[in-house]
Amino acid sequence: MNIIEIKNLTKAYGKNRGIDNVNLTINEGEIFGFIGPNGAGKSTTIKTLLNIIFPTRGEAKIFGLDCVTETTKIKENIGYVPSEVRYYDDMTVREIIDYAKSFKKNIDEEYVDRLIKLFDVELSKKIFELSLGNKKKVSIIQALIHKPKLLILDEPTSGLDPLVQKHLFNELTALNKQGSTIFLSSHNLTEIEEFCHRVAIIKEGKILEIKKLDDFAHRTLKKVSITVNKDISKEIKALGGLIVGHEENTIIFNYDKDINELISLISKYIVSNLIIEERKLSEEFMTYYEMEEK
Amino acid sequence: MNIFKMEVKKGIKSLLIWSIVCVALTILFMSMFPSMKNSGMQELVNTKMDALPPAILEAFNLKEMPDFTKLIEYFAYVFQYIVIAGCIYAGMLGAKSLIKEESEGTIEFLYAQPVSRTKIVTMKVLSSFVLFYIFIMIMSIASILISSIVKPEDLELIDLIIDLKMLFGGFFLVGLVFMAIGFLLSVLIKNLKLAMPLSTGIFFITYLLGIFSNMIDKLEFLKYFSPFHYAVPAELIKTGIDKANIGLSFVIIIICLVSTYIIYNKKDFNI
């Protein structure tokens, strides 16, 4: 079953870019990463899913329900952590959590107490007294209290210390095992790499790629830097290498084809330097951007 | 009801401040009544007033000189300044209600809950209505108590209460008109900072239009653009409230509220 289905979703802000023709499908039980630089359209996509803004064209569905006309029904089963947490300043943490609880049905009080202890929030503190990280913790608690079927998290770890981040991902993993789907927007590529099943890369409002993270993990993608006595860039391209830098006799390229063919090619020339590295998701991610800029 | 309770709770502090200031003003004004009644002050006032041009008298709703020795006429005259304050409070209640959540970003939390935009507006309208109603009740009770202390012995308390009831009824209606205009303003403006100057500005511009309509015969039609002049206290105690003005008030309230619901249900939240 598709939990989120986005078809040709476009949001235009006058002359400013929003999102353009976004298509995404997120399956039940999936942990889906959503990455892209600032202003790429991640938050615009999330705000459209939550009906905070209306789409210019296209449609989005969650649980098979329309995000515009059936948003109230959808939100019964959604937990949301915004990138920038803003609450009513003069309320206490307890009042915020109680207020969030008042909108939900069948709250497991023991689970809420456990979350409060786990994330170590001071219930009597007023919101304006809290640091960014502590506000984020309150936001995480209020998003999790009803064990939602879908969690939409926009930069959930920003401002959190490593221990709290670990607690968060343990909790998310537990919820995912119970069937919750997780939509995680983040700049932290390591957490995306370690945690998500699939990832979508968005830039300038457009989805560049949607990848299974298994592809990243198991693919033998290498970053090669070679200094050779002749310009062999054409031959490298012919083998399937993707040139990302070329300076005098040094060529830098990404390569995921048969390594023996590459060795066979370079053995014909005089090589003064050769570096072959495994590529990480973060580098892969950067490559998409470099490609676009070129 | 959770949103309603939260809104009322958030509005209590401001309600108390407005109530304390307005009750203090009422006490101040009414404490002058015994001296007004006893020392030939009316004659002095009349002499001074007669020297003023008729247009100025019209502007201050002194077209027909009130008899300041009569408690209710004196009260009705000073009460118009309380009505001005109350209308500004009502307008601000409306104007801040919806835009505040957007400007402060809290709408992102509220609207992530299973609650419709229509319900958010309804709860904000109801809570503002209740807060203003409590304000009116506080002012009514305070006015009755203060007036009963300074009232002449021959004036029956029940007659006083009947007259005050009419004054506060008119006050409540006019306040609701400005509150409804405030709600419409709240879905049109982009920033909370604009709510107070704009709602207050609208009150004073319409108030001035009403004054011009009194001063210049050709501009009499402008009185319909001044909700304050639908229920001027000094006129209410003499002629009662004009049914046409009641109708007009309801028309404005309904148009503003319906527009508020329509726009709020279609707008992008600016966060």
A127-170 tens-digit pLDDT = 999 999 999 999 999 999 999 999 999 999 988 999 999 999 99
- Taking CA atoms, what residue in A is nearest to B7? A88
Which residues make Cβ contacts (< 8 Å) with residue B79, sequence separation at least 6?
A: B26, B143, B167, B171, B233
Name the amino acid, one letter, at B164: L
Q: Which DSSP symbol is given to A273? A: E
Q: Do B115 and A72 touch (CB under 8 A)?
A: yes
pLDDT tens, position by position, B161-219: 988 999 999 999 999 999 999 999 999 999 999 999 999 999 999 998 888 887 777 88
Q: How far apart are CA A241 and CA A252, in angstroms?
A: 9
Using a CB-CB distance cutoff of 8 angstroms, which residues of chain B are in contact with residue A97? Answer: none
Q: Do A54 and B268 touch (CB under 8 A)?
A: yes
Spans of chain B, pLDDT less than 50: none
Q: How far is CA A153 from CA A33, A156, A184, in A?
A: 10, 6, 5
CA proximity to A69, closest of B265, B267, B120, B108: B265
Q: How far apart are CA B55 and CA B60, in angstroms?
A: 9
pLDDT class of A221 with cuts at 50, 70, 90: confident
Average pLDDT over residues A252-273: 89
Burial of residue B224 (CB within 10 Å: 0-12, 13-18, 19+) is middle
Q: How far apart are CA B25 and CA B23, in angstroms?
A: 5
CA proximity to A198, closest of A41, A62, A33, A36: A33
H and E: helices and strands count for chain B: 11, 0
> How confident is the prediction for chain A on average, in pLDDT?
90
- Taking CA atoms, what residue in B is nearest to A101? B113
- Cβ-contact A147, A110 below 8 angstroms: no
Read off the tokens for B260. Answer: 């508020």
Which residues in B have their CB inside 8 Å of a CB on A?
2, 6, 10, 104-109, 111-116, 266, 268-269, 271
pLDDT score at B42? 65
Burial of residue B30 (CB within 10 Å: 0-12, 13-18, 19+) is buried
Residue A10's SS3 state is strand
pLDDT tens, position by position, A12-26: 987 677 899 999 999
Q: How far apart are CA A276 and CA A254, in angstroms?
A: 10
pLDDT score at B32? 86
Q: Decide if the complex's ipTM is over 0.95.
A: no
Q: How far apart are CA B157 and CA B144, in angstroms?
A: 9
% of residues, chain A, pLDDT over 90: 67
pLDDT score at A209? 87
- Taking CA atoms, what residue in A is nearest to B5? A99
